[in-house]
Structure 1
Amino acid sequence: MNKIKIFKNNIIACICMTFALISCADLDEDPSISNLAPGAYSSQEELELGVTGIYGKLRDASQWTSFYVTGFGGDDITTHKVSNKIDFRAFDIRSVNGANSKTVGVWKDVYAMIRTANLVLESAEDLVLSDASVKDRLLGEVYFLRGTLFFHLARTHGRIPLPLTSEPDFEIALSSQLEVYEQIESDLLLAEKLLPSIYPDVNAGAPRPNSGSARAILARLYMDWAGFPLKDNTRYNLAASSAKQVIDNAGSHGFGLLDDLEDLWSLNNRFNKESVWSISYCVTCGTPNRKYGKLGHPGDLLGWQETFAEIKFFEDFPEGPRKEATYRTDYDWENFSDQVTPVFKKIVGPGDEISLDDFDTNRNDFYMRYAEVLLIYAEASGRSGNVTTEAWESLNKIRRRAEGLPFDEPNAIVDVTSGDIAELAFAERKWEFAGEFIRWNDLVRMERVEEALSDRVPRVSRNAAGELVQVQNEIIGSLGTDNYFAPIPTREIILNPNLDN
């Protein structure tokens, strides 16, 4: 890499088969126009190819666990104690440096997508279509993707540069945290305005985002904005109102809870209404997801030993259907010889659905679930001091399902209607999203990293010899706020010293 490159050529990735999977539209790629030269678009087809080209880049990046590497910092996820997982392990033990190959790769991939998005917006500026709503919808996707990608990277590094044109700026500086959040907000608000209530001709789970997808990501953004590092408590009101807006219009967006949490992890349900935005994959199309299956098993089970569950978190996890849906409790994991840690069912799949020999799967990424929208509403309502009966009901729906009960039927044994709803919802998130690579972000925004990671010693798990099992990866880095965000990749700073501040 000789410069922080701004790619204006080769913007269209090979996306035809995956696009066919998620849309009924016939957009098979024409090789003669797959590498459109920079310039103004002259047709709807060129705009469509530009937009779906971003998805091609996204899928290529997100098919690897690296895309979600910050998740290893949480108290729910760990990785192998030796082997070739050193850059995942760095997040696990809180010792990340600027040479970490995972953050280097994600930085490169995300900015390649952002640069492509900028070029698409510029190329479509003067395009006039007979159906203006089509152009709005496609541009809405671009703003959605750019805003979400900025957000994804900001959750890793905090302050980041914000390139908004396709022209290279080799001296661009880091934006302030406020500027970063304001740009993400701007993109998502514009996306919400341009996107339809539901994207036409796609499967469930919003593999192409709708206006509700944008509003849901906004709710997540406002929760981060209200927490560390800006601590703007006024954003809790916006988080609550945004989540409530999605809830009130869930039917028109095609969103809702599944009756059984475990059904989410079945390959047969990779398209489902609980996902408010999905990144879709397809093995037979040559676009597999490579984060699941084999990568979640230890060597004892022919696994590639990448993503495991923390022991203490597993011990603390409330017994019941949700724990059974989260972990492979049928495994005698305390007596594994390779890596003595529990295994996530969310990673390896239920039963024998994913072969032990397989690391290419059709599993989609549920980038954000409707369950999170409900819990954001409950938590943000509490933290903003505006608790409603609807907020309690949002929390109780998740609690009921966790117990294997119908989520929409009140249950006096499970339901809560008093106490600190914000803390109750925060705790509910801990269990509901275990192993989904988002616990770390919750610990950061609430400044609870030290509290969570200082208490990881197993208490009850013993092997066949009666010996207490041990933590596999001991913390060696700081648990303070100084170590919440990963450093900017060193090679980027060498190329542009303005990023070192």
Structure 2
Amino acid sequence: MKTLTNYRLLNPKLLIAGFLAIGGIVSSCDSLLEEKPKTIVTENFYQSKSDFDAATNAIYFPLRMVRSEQVAILSAHTDWGYGRGSRAQYNDFQGFNPTNINAAAERWSGFYEGIRNANIVIEKAPLSEELTEDEMNSYSAEAKFLRALTYFDLVRNWGGVPLRTDQNIAQKDVPKSTPEEVYAFILADLADAELYLPTGASAPGRPTQWAAKTLLADVYLQLEEYGMAKMKAQEVLDAGEFRLVPIASVDDIRNKIFGAALVTSSEEIFSFKFTRQTGQGNGLPWILNHPSTGLYNFGGAYAHYGDATNPFHKEWEEGDLRKGLWQLVDFGLGDSTIVNGKYAEPQAVDNTGAGNDIPVYRYPELLLIFAEASARVDGLTEENLEALNQVRRRAFGLDPGTVSDKDYVLEELTSENFLDLILQEKAYETQFEGKRWLDLKRTGRAEEFLMKNKGITIAEKHYLWPIPLEELNFNEAMSPSDQNPGY
């Protein structure tokens, strides 16, 4: 570990590779940890700081692996995204085919593997005779942050789910909890994470107090507790730890915000880290890119795409650099087909070996969370309008902090159309980050926008994913009646 720490100053991405590799090594012990977590000899393991470094790193491994597919699927669920081949099932909103039901089950398993590994750290850290109290609190807080983030993914996509915790870690059969119970659990985890996480990341990709506050703001926004959402977002803004990355071109977006060689940036609040290494890389750039663009050195699967005739794209103002990430590529679906080059990677080691990180929270999203929460509490104000305008200015290559002719003007807006602008700005800013579909569901506007931009209706069952049959068949605390509607 000392060698890695020293080498970080020379090549931070290789430090991350070492950190990820440790996660992979621990993950190889899956069967032992999954079947009988308490059979590990506690007096010999889960004692030292290095033990808990390895155990904490193991939480990240499955969560990173599931993230790229999760983002791709959520992007096809939107009013602007489409899936090709079997992935078309994700954007027609009439339900999943057997292939995609199985794929959803794999994502479920990946999430719960991460939760299980977090539960082990949370259970064992207080029992260690070697950790200081500060170290114990720190490891537990990091694990609770990741556990809360994962349950937030689960509850928004599956609804009520089994709450597997450090308190029932030995139980195979765990009943389905209500969404309200899951959210209460998430908030409790984040209260501890916010209290004990550091203000500065211990290494790139590790959560901070600011990441916990940002996640809290997002959770409160989901729960329509707008006063709390505003307060938590405001605390991060007031800290002054983050700022928007200046850009002047489309390539600046690719390289300075989402670049494969980028270690971190001034706007990164929390990301899942990847590196150019087999088994430790990101598969999303290969999923999205097309060989003709030259943005990915292994071509690309172009499994997800857009359409320039979709009103979402047609109404997007010219000059917005984010729109320039889309390129026309006719691969048999018509000359209005567009593919997105947000994640460019010229030196990937294989189809899943890209070095691009996947952002979970960036500063522009925090600004928009604040703008929405503030508007819902206080109405339209100069402060929340400025938060929106900062994101908009940057998108046109302007100084985010300087008034411009691209600004929205207070006197020309109502609170209602201000909220519409925030929703749309967030859609432009976070494409292929897995945000739009969840925002449309949260605001109750999915049906409206899917009809407007794709001309389709949403089957009721497509608002939630199916609970895996293995969970229903082998978890004796659940039954077929626990399945989500329509499956």
Q: What is the TM-score normalised by the length of structure 1?
A: 0.79
Residue equivalent to 1:120: 121
Could you tell me how far 1:144 is from its partner in structure 2? 0.4
Cα separation, partners in 2 of 1:102 and 1:49, compared to 1, 3 Å: same
The correspondence of residues 41-440 of structure 1 with structure 2, limited to 5 A, is 41-62=46-67, 64-66=68-70, 68-80=72-84, 82=85, 86=86, 88-97=87-96, 99=98, 100-129=101-130, 131-165=132-166, 167-200=169-202, 202-203=203-204, 207-226=205-224, 235-251=225-241, 255-260=242-247, 262=253, 263-284=256-277, 286-293=279-286, 295-297=288-290, 302-311=299-308, 312=310, 313-328=312-327, 331=328, 333=329, 335-337=330-332, 341-347=337-343, 349=344, 353=346, 359-418=352-411, 419=413, 420=415, 421-440=418-437
Distance 1:19 1:53 in 2: 18
Q: 1:21 aligns with which of 11, 15, 28?
A: 15
| Structure 1: gaps (5+ residues) | 1-15, 227-234, 458-473
| Structure 2: gaps (5+ residues) | 1-7, 34-39, 483-487
Residue equivalent to 1:490: 469
Residue equivalent to 2:481: 500
SS in structure 1 opposite 2:360? strand
Letter in 2 for 1:243: A
Letter in 1 for 2:61: G
Distance 1:375 1:66 in 2: 22
Cα separation, partners in 2 of 1:344 and 1:395, compared to 1, 3 Å: same
Does structure 2 retain, via aligned residues, the 8 Å contact 1:277–1:367? yes
CA-based RMSD of the aligned residues comes to 3.3
Distance 2:27 2:153 in 1: 30
Cα separation, partners in 2 of 1:345 and 1:126, compared to 1, 3 Å: same
Does structure 2 retain, via aligned residues, the 8 Å contact 1:70–1:156? no
Could you tell me how far 1:97 is from its partner in structure 2? 4.0
How many percent identity over aligned positions?
A: 26
Could you tell me how far 1:238 is from its partner in structure 2? 1.0
Could you tell me how far 1:397 is from its partner in structure 2? 0.4
Distance 2:388 2:293 in 1: 39
Distance 1:410 1:196 in 2: 34
Does structure 1 retain, via aligned residues, the 8 Å contact 2:278–2:352? no
Residue equivalent to 1:232: none
Distance 1:131 1:216 in 2: 28
SS in structure 2 opposite 1:276? strand
Could you tell me how far 1:43 is from its partner in structure 2? 1.4
Distance 1:244 1:44 in 2: 34
Does structure 1 retain, via aligned residues, the 8 Å contact 2:274–2:280? yes
Could you tell me how far 1:121 is from its partner in structure 2? 1.4
Pair 1:39 & 2:42 matched: yes
Question: 17-26 or 141-150, which moves further after superposition?
Answer: 17-26
Q: Deviations over 1:42-68 (max 9, x none)?
A: 211111111111112223333x42465
Distance 2:163 2:450 in 1: 32
Could you tell me how far 1:34 is from its partner in structure 2? 8.3
Cα separation, partners in 2 of 1:285 and 1:395, compared to 1, 3 Å: same
Distance 2:410 2:16 in 1: 41
Distance 1:216 1:483 in 2: 28
Distance 2:445 2:25 in 1: 51
Q: What is the TM-score normalised by the length of structure 2?
A: 0.81
Letter in 1 for 2:448: E
Does structure 2 retain, via aligned residues, the 8 Å contact 1:288–1:360? yes
Distance 2:238 2:293 in 1: 48
Cα separation, partners in 2 of 1:97 and 1:294, compared to 1, 3 Å: closer
Distance 2:453 2:382 in 1: 36
Tell me which protein shows more helix as a share of its residues: 2
Letter in 2 for 1:342: I
Could you tell me how far 1:109 is from its partner in structure 2? 0.9
Letter in 2 for 1:360: G
Q: Deviations over 1:399-452 (max 9, x none)?
A: 111221100112255243242232321221122222322110011011111111
Residue equivalent to 1:464: none
Q: Deviations over 1:436-489 (max 9, x none)?
A: 2211001101111111111235xxxxxxxxxxxxxxxx85xx526553111212
Does structure 1 retain, via aligned residues, the 8 Å contact 2:289–2:300? yes
Letter in 2 for 1:485: L
Could you tell me how far 1:158 is from its partner in structure 2? 1.6
Could you tell me how far 1:259 is from its partner in structure 2? 0.7
